[in-house]
Amino acid sequence: MPVARPESSDSRIIAHVDMDCFYVQVEQRKQPHLRGQPTAVVQYNSWKGGGLIAVSYEARKDGVKRSMRGDEAKKVCPQIQLVQVPVARGKADLSIYRNAGSEVVSILARKGRCERASIDEVYLDLTDAAETMLKETPLESLESINEEVLKSHVLELSSNGNDDKELVREWLQRRDADHRDKLLACGAFIVAELRLQVLRETEFTCSAGIAHNKMLAKLASGMNKPAQQTIVPFASVKGLLEPLPIKKMKQLGGKLGSSLQIDLGVNTVGDLLQFSQEKLQDFYGVNTGTWLWNVARGISGEEVEGRLLPKSHGSGKTFPGPRALKTLAAVEKWLKELCEELSERLQSDLEKNKRVAHTLTLHANAYKSTDTDSYKKFPSKSCPLRYGGGKIQEDAVNLFQAGLREYLGAYIGSQCGGWGITGLSVSASKIVPIPSGTCSITRYFQCRDQFHSSSELSDEKFIPEDDLLSPSRSESHPAPHQTEQQTECGGEEAPVTYDITSFDQYENACKDEQASSDITREVSHLLSGAESCSTPKQNERQLRLPGKESKMKYPSDGIRSYGQKRKATKEKGTSSILRFLQSNSCSTSKQDNVSALQETKPLSSVVQEPLVMESESFPGSQNGRSTNTWSYKADEIDQSVVDELPPELQEEVRTWLRPQKRANMVKQGSSIAHYFPPSKNEQRNPK
Ligand code: TTP
């Protein structure tokens, strides 16, 4: 259950930055001739042209939607360019997109605390930067303001279309504005500058929401896409929230939202306003009642976590229809591929970031031939993670078998048991930095393995992943190794049995060791396959910990009507950056922080690797088996886990979570191609 947190300050400045049609932009950077073309990135699965996972704004204008497959997209937009995701190990390889996301994060992190929320989304806490700017640069004294700032959408402004920029200028420079709005105005300058930096250094455009908390910033970032930013002044919060359908609010898509509808007749956030805090507390308990009361008023104390790196790593693949895996041997073959990929990513994380993961989780989608209780989900299973591809694979197979036994309700020893697996993924979570200076990495793994021997993995040690994803972790009982867990909303205590190999254990076990002076050498040793010794001891401690908080992308279609209304009255072009790049000059300012906006740099020339394209056909539900089932409630899905799923699964999950996001964002005629003069494209792609 969600829990209320006091808003730390109503004058925080939080931005949510969301890349525009991200995978398409990554592909367009690689192949600049695609810029300005209706383009879509399609799944590895090439059945019916492949499912679309990212659609350019030009293609959206022609009616192409992410729910389509390539063949259908070609019918509505014959000139569409379809690019398949890169492939490795017989499955989609998303590393190019992950790396591109990291480029952006490293730029955005320059101005404040930065939380990487998904592969293409970032939250920023710009409070300090805004306060500093306000002190040093009274906005009302600015003589000229950069176009990109003037292109901002300010939710409380009404306009008749033509004088938007003038209205925005007035709003930004109001002498009588309260402190909160002045800070928001500074936030708009800072975010515009950051977005320009992202464009210059990565060639990607992004959109942003700027507000006093994460919830509002996230709502706003999708309202004006692509390549625009939206400001949510305090006075506009009520108008923004009131019309939103209650079920579209974060954490209200499931049972709680249904209860609000059925039990209290609440269908929109506005409806919720009529209930007193006491009434909501009576109905849902103190925590949830307070949280609901706050949500209705746009109050959220959720902090931006300082996290630039992903919270988890995962590798997965779907096997729909006739491709379902029906023998243990087939499952083991694919687990080998998935575990090798996971292992590589873990080792790369270890090498680059000095981080280690603690929990291995196996997810699967399955069906039974008998279909007697098709409602039953394949239980996700977790165990302590041991490093090394072979060990991960061994443990994953054990986890799978444990899940299968539970799924089928009886021991399965045969190779073919009347079941089929339509989706398989392994993920590594509970990732924490290696404590520096206390012990060597090798010793660290040795100590871990003493606690984490998997040779005696039993069902008792498998942690139901449902528990891991339960949105009810209380902040008051963090696990020692849970420092990077999401903590956006705590909840009523729902303890789960959790594995623990804490740094206390680790440090105690290693206390006599000298600190390693050459981490790199040891990492190389580990990477070269010399895995640490594993002593199968039964001294693994189990600790009861509260369940983990969930996190998911916000379903934003509820803001469509509001956004559309605004779009009807606002016709702000998206070409100011183009002019900025073309003219090499912009409006000027005496102020340093504004002049930073005016700097132009040539676009960096990046050597691009050729795309390796393969295709494979994994049609939807050809044998009548549903492949779009997923065993968690929407509110319980951890966004980072979704990000690490294969695109096929991501699409299913995300479509379910926020099915109408696209419609919300499509702006007729909008395109980010304007940002890229042809000369720049040619420059990057000399033929
Ligand atoms: P989104 O941010 O949801 O969408 P987008 O960036 O393509 O477009 P928009 O401008 O409307 O924000 O997703 C980011 C990337 O994640 C997207 O480019 C492709 C990938 N993705 C999938 O692979 N499957 C999915 O179902 C979704 C929703 C996204």
| pLDDT, tens only, 280-294 | 999 999 999 999 999
pTM listed for this prediction = 0.65
Q: How far is it, in rounded angstroms, from Cα 351 to Cα 513?
A: 21
Structure confidence at residue 160 (pLDDT): 55
Q: pLDDT confidence of 306, banded at 50, 70, 90?
A: confident
Res 201 pLDDT > 70: yes
Q: How far is it, in rounded angstroms, from Cα 548 to Cα 482?
A: 10
Structure confidence at residue 666 (pLDDT): 41
Mean pLDDT, range 668-674, rounded to an integer:
61
Instruction: Supply the residue whose CA is at minimum distance from atom 8 of ligand 1.
Output: 21
CA 453–ligand 1 middle distance (angstroms): 39
Look at 590 and 272; give whichever has higher pLDDT.
272
Q: pLDDT confidence of 551, banded at 50, 70, 90?
A: very low
Residue 319: what are its φ and ψ, rounded to 5°?
A: -135, 65
Look at 325 and 683; give whichever has higher pLDDT.
325
Which atom of ligand 1 is least distant from the CA of 647?
23
Q: How far is it, in rounded angstroms, from Cα 130 to Cα 190?
A: 7
Q: How far is it, in rounded angstroms, from Cα 86 to Cα 608?
A: 14
| pLDDT tens digits, 517-541 | 223 333 333 333 333 323 333 333 3
Mean pLDDT, range 474-489, rounded to an integer:
25
Pair of tokens at residue 488: 């956006």
Instruction: Supply the residue whose CA is at minimum distance from atom 5 of ligand 1.
Output: 21
Strand, coil or helix: 33: helix
Q: How far is it, in rounded angstroms, from Cα 158 to Cα 174?
A: 16
Per-residue buried b or exposed e for 343-355, using 16+ beta carbons within 10 Å of the residue's own CB:
bbbbbebbbeeeb
| pLDDT tens digits, 396-452 | 999 999 999 999 885 454 445 689 999 999 999 999 998 766 445 555 555 555 544
For 381-421, the three-class secondary structure string (H helix, E strand, C coil) is EEEECCCCHHHHHHHHHHHHHHHHHHHHCCCCCCCEEEEEE
Q: pLDDT confidence of 156, banded at 50, 70, 90?
A: confident
| Site residues for ligand 1, CB cut-off 6 Å | 18-23, 53-54, 119-120, 225-226, 647, 650-651, 654-655, 665
Res 453 pLDDT > 70: no
H or E stretch including 647?
helix 647-657
Q: How far is it, in rounded angstroms, from Cα 415 to Cα 182?
A: 67
Mean pLDDT, range 242-253, rounded to an integer:
92
Structure confidence at residue 144 (pLDDT): 87
Look at 561 and 503; give whichever has higher pLDDT.
561
Mean pLDDT, range 256-279, rounded to an integer:
95
- The residue whose CB lies within 8 Å of the most ligand 1 atoms, and thus the one to mutate among 654, 661, 671, 675, is 654
Q: Report the 10 Å Cβ neighbour count for 22.
A: 23
Instruction: Supply the residue whose CA is at minimum distance from atom 25 of ligand 1.
Output: 651
CA 21–ligand 1 middle distance (angstroms): 6
- The residue whose CB lies within 8 Å of the most ligand 1 atoms, and thus the one to mutate among 21, 94, 655, is 21
Which atom of ligand 1 is least distant from the CA of 23?
18
CA 53–ligand 1 middle distance (angstroms): 6
| pLDDT tens digits, 343-363 | 999 999 999 889 999 999 999
What percent of the chain shows pLDDT beyond 90? Answer: 50
Mean pLDDT, range 618-623, rounded to an integer:
26
Structure confidence at residue 293 (pLDDT): 95
- The residue whose CB lies within 8 Å of the most ligand 1 atoms, and thus the one to mutate among 17, 18, 53, is 53
Write down the catalytic residue from 27, 58, 115, 121: 121
Res 16 pLDDT > 70: yes
Q: Please state whether beta strands 206-211 and 229-231 pair in parallel, antiparallel, or not at all (unpaired).
A: parallel
- Most confidently modeled range among 95-109, 426-440, 596-610: 95-109
Structure confidence at residue 410 (pLDDT): 58
Structure confidence at residue 676 (pLDDT): 64
Q: Is 390 exposed, middle or buried (0-12, 13-18, 19+ CB in 10 A)?
A: middle
Q: How far from 311 is each of 23, 433, 591, CA to CA, in Å?
A: 21, 11, 39
Look at 649 and 295; give whichever has higher pLDDT.
295
Look at 615 and 20; give whichever has higher pLDDT.
20
Mean confidence (pLDDT) of the chain = 71
CA 526–ligand 1 middle distance (angstroms): 35
Res 548 pLDDT > 50: no
Look at 30 and 156; give whichever has higher pLDDT.
30
Mean pLDDT, range 180-193, rounded to an integer:
97
Q: Of 138-152, 189-203, 559-573, which range is least confident?
A: 559-573
Residue 29: what are its φ and ψ, rounded to 5°?
A: -65, -35
- The residue whose CB lies within 8 Å of the most ligand 1 atoms, and thus the one to mutate among 39, 104, 120, is 120
Which atom of ligand 1 is least distant from the CA of 661?
11
Instruction: Supply the residue whose CA is at minimum distance from atom 24 of ligand 1.
Output: 651
> 114 and 14 in contact (C-beta within 8 Å)?
no
Structure confidence at residue 668 (pLDDT): 37
Q: How far from 191 is each of 198, 210, 221, 231, CA to CA, in Å?
A: 10, 8, 12, 10
Strand, coil or helix: 273: coil
Q: Report the 10 Å Cβ neighbour count for 670.
A: 22
CA 251–ligand 1 middle distance (angstroms): 20
Mean pLDDT, range 160-170, rounded to an integer:
79
Mean pLDDT, range 253-258, rounded to an integer:
93
What percent of the chain shows pLDDT beyond 70? Answer: 59
Structure confidence at residue 321 (pLDDT): 83
Res 119 pLDDT > 50: yes
Look at 523 and 98; give whichever has higher pLDDT.
98
Q: pLDDT confidence of 2, banded at 50, 70, 90?
A: low
CA 23–ligand 1 middle distance (angstroms): 7
Which atom of ligand 1 is least distant from the CA of 651?
26
> 202 and 150 in contact (C-beta within 8 Å)?
no
Annotated catalytic, 121?
Answer: yes
Res 629 pLDDT > 70: no
CA 349–ligand 1 middle distance (angstroms): 24
Instruction: Supply the residue whose CA is at minimum distance from atom 6 of ligand 1.
Output: 21
Q: How far is it, in rounded angstroms, from Cα 87 to Cα 580?
A: 37
Q: How far is it, in rounded angstroms, from Cα 302 to Cα 115?
A: 12
Residue among 214, 346, 355, 298 nearest 639 (CA): 214
Res 611 pLDDT > 90: no
The single-letter DSSP state of residue 254 is S
CA 374–ligand 1 middle distance (angstroms): 30
Which atom of ligand 1 is least distant from the CA of 94?
23
Contacts of residue 374, defined as CB under 8 A and 6 or more positions apart, other chains included, come to 367, 368
Mean pLDDT, range 132-146, rounded to an integer:
90
Res 459 pLDDT > 60: no
> 621 and 319 in contact (C-beta within 8 Å)?
no
Which atom of ligand 1 is least distant from the CA of 85?
23
Structure confidence at residue 677 (pLDDT): 58
Angle, helix 179-202 to helix 576-583, in steps of 10 degrees: 60
| pLDDT tens digits, 460-469 | 333 333 322 2
